[in-house]
Amino acid sequence: MGKASRFIGKEIPRKDAGDIVRGKAKFIGDLKLPGMLYAKVLRSPYSHALIKKIDIVKAKKLAGVKAVLTYEEAPNWRAGLPVHLGVLSRKVRYIGDAVALVAAESEEIAEEALELIDVEYEPLQAVYDTEEAMEPGAPQLYDQFPGNQFPLACPWMGPNSLQEIVMGDVEKGFADSDIVVEGTCSYDNIPNPLPLEPPGVIAHWEGPEDLTVWSSAQSPYFLKITLHYAMGRINVRSIAAQCGGSFGTKVLLWQLAFYAAALARVVRRPVKLCYTKEEHFAAYTLRLGSRFKGKVGIKKDGSVMAVSGDWLINTGYCSDAAQGMVAVGCGELQLVVRCPNWHVKPRLVCTNRNASKMVRGYGGQELEAAFIPVLSIALEKAGIDPFEFFKKNYVKPGDGYYWRDGNWWVCRGLDYTKAMEKGAEVFGWKEKWKGWLKPSAVNGTRRTGVGVGVHGNADVGEDVSEAYVRLDPDATAVIYSCVSEHGTGQRSSLCKMAAEILNLPIERVSLAPPDSLVNPYEFGPVGSRGTYAIGSAVIRAAEDARQKLLEKAARLFNVTPEELETEDGTIFVKGQKDKRVPWKAAMGFDRTCMGYGYFEPDFSVPNFMMIFVEVEVDTETGKIDLRRVVAATDVGRVIDSQSLKNQLHGCLGAAGLDSATFEETVLDKKLGRILNPNMIDYKWRTFLELPDFATVILETPIETHLFKSVGVGEIVTSPAPPAVLMAVSNAIGKRLMDYPLTPDKILKALGKLGEK
């Protein structure tokens, strides 16, 4: 900007901090509308079955029950990619699938009504593994998807969405390689990020074609668009409460909205549906299951010559975003590994377990967590340091890649080598790295190992954003952007950007509530796009509003707008601060200045994150202790330092680093039932188990927008699982190819399982 920043990069309290700590922030559980009823869902005890008979007479007669719906009464709304799911179905496809819906005067009455519904099922054979689901004769979940494979096209990513990585000549690439290896690695323990607040919605019909939905959605406008098309082009108003954390899992809440809206249409009253914590565990969505089976060829100098193989993806019983995750994952792998010859074929498979939908990491974490261990076999044979490999192979300016839209993009971002080297220095990589499958230290039965992972995402510039900024005569500004607060402080950071441009105290800048009726289109704060994509729209809107203000004021001073400056709600000629007038003098008391800003997709500026880890493994018990983590990145310019550091610390847990060791959704592969849907059996890291954690954040200007910044929040978790697997393998001297690294797997690898 040519001058010192007033707000950008400064630690300023979040705009909503006071409301949150005082309990004034409104979450979906806090909202209550006049006449509101409460919904509950009867869920299937079978993972695959047909409903032969369902009797709802007793439930409907229970005092306080206002509606009971089965597949016979449910509206014909359809969703999924491609469209394949209705509100309710005669066929249930996982344990927890919706069988019937109840609306009642209280949650307790609704729960009691569920007990009165009598259902007769015809159990069907189920399948839970991707490879088994593709076999001839396997149980079929949908008639329209033979072999239990979903098509890979993702229309909302464009007509040529990326469906596989095909480039060059892999056979020639393997022939030109010095080392060729094959392997299989699985990252399919379906960890649940589990935000603190379970998802919830309230639905109310204002008219036959006019639906208002309040929700805990991360992307309220995207929910509006989804419901509009899925429910027959109706008018939808989408309003977001505080999200209560998301980790990417609350972007699409169409299924909850289907249930609540179906009941609300019958009773003609608002209906609220909030999942319990148990439902959030056992009946909500999970991360994609991922398995890579393939082949890698490299030169002795670390140049990758060819990659081929199958990426087997378990999406569970349905798909509404998996195709997009496939497209992004295929793009992100190209950022990590520069290679001229590719043939990676994804196979998107449906099985009789919970659906997989959007989760932080969004495809790339799943693919890289399974691919990098196979690549590591080749690096071991060549004796190549993985840090040096990533430094050489991570995408550089001028490199090209196919992105999710199927188009070829040329990187115009940064060379992140300096950030990598600084991270390695802080971690002490050169001193600690002893070679593949070699511990860095041995202390009796305890062995220490180190690992490193890297990740990047060009979706920082994904999709469209629009924003308005309104300047009022009282020297205040309002940003209109349909951004919900999902736990990261993004709304507060947008206020900082506008305040910086308007040179206005930040307490005078506010953001309109996330309501689709009030705000222009906004895809949502996903994929690390908040800083670049949403920020660009807000910056342009603020600049437009400022320009219009100065054009009005120019007539007062008889100068050009370029000769004027604004500060703290006043306007003056540059260099003449003593002669200033308030905004009201330029606008009048009965006018405002409205600026408009927009952002169009740009996939040419990938972000970057490198994670170094050190673990200690007890070879007698198999227990793994995470000792040290260093997270290294370059963000161009820091918008809010505390929010950024918090995001980096978020690589622990939330289906990130700890999904490599103990954060796991345990599925009984015979019954299809989740065995740990509670806060005791689902293992989380406590504060007492936090490792030493250091952050390395460089600031090298990136050509994005005025503040030359790029977001990294979404990708922080992604490099961590393969880094941990690498570290543990090095510590025990045995290669591990399956997550999570539970004690039994450690002891089995050491040949000690079952020893007395």
Token pair, residue 164, equals 């596989």
Question: How far apart, in whole angstroms, are the C-alpha atoms of residue 436 and residue 431?
Answer: 14
Which tens digit of pLDDT belongs to each residue from 316-349?
A: 999 999 999 999 999 999 999 999 999 999 999 9
Q: Which domains does the chain have, with CATH numbers?
A: 17-25+463-599 (3.30.365.10), 31-124+196-245+250-282 (3.90.1170.50), 289-460+604-749 (3.30.365.10)
Closest to 69 in 3D by CA, of 258, 232, 319: 258
pLDDT at 754: 67
User: Tens of pLDDT along 230-243?
Assistant: 999 999 999 999 98
The tens digit of pLDDT for each residue in 384-410 reads 999 999 999 999 999 999 999 999 999
Residue matched to tokens 């994804």:
346
DSSP string, 116-153: T-EEEEEE-----SHHHHHSTTPPPS-TTSGGGB----
Q: Tell me what the mean pLDDT of segment 28-57 comes to.
A: 97
**Angle of the 490-502 helix axis to the 535-557 helix axis, nearest 10:** 20
Q: What's the rounded Cα separation, in Å, for the pair 333 and 369?
A: 10
In this prediction, residue 756 carries a pLDDT of: 44
Beta bridge partners of 241: none
Which residue do the tokens 């959030």 mark?
A: 280
Of the listed ranges 174-183, 266-275, 659-668, the one predicted with least confidence: 659-668
Widest CA span of the chain, in angstroms?
Answer: 93
Average pLDDT over every residue of 445-472: 97
Distance CA 369, CA 358 (A): 17
Structure-block tokens of residue 419: 């950030």
Distances (CA, A) of 122 to 48, 71, 100: 9, 16, 16
For residue 1, what pLDDT is reported? Answer: 41
Q: Find, among 61, 62, 103, 39, the residue nearest to 267 by Cα.
A: 103
pLDDT at 245: 85
Contact 373, 725 (CB under 8 A): yes
In the predicted structure, residue 2 carries a pLDDT above the cut 70: no
Q: State pTM to two decimals.
A: 0.95
The mean per-residue pLDDT over the stretch 535-552 comes to 98
End-to-end CA distance of the chain: 68
Q: How confident is the model at residue 443 (pLDDT cuts 50, 70, 90)?
A: very high
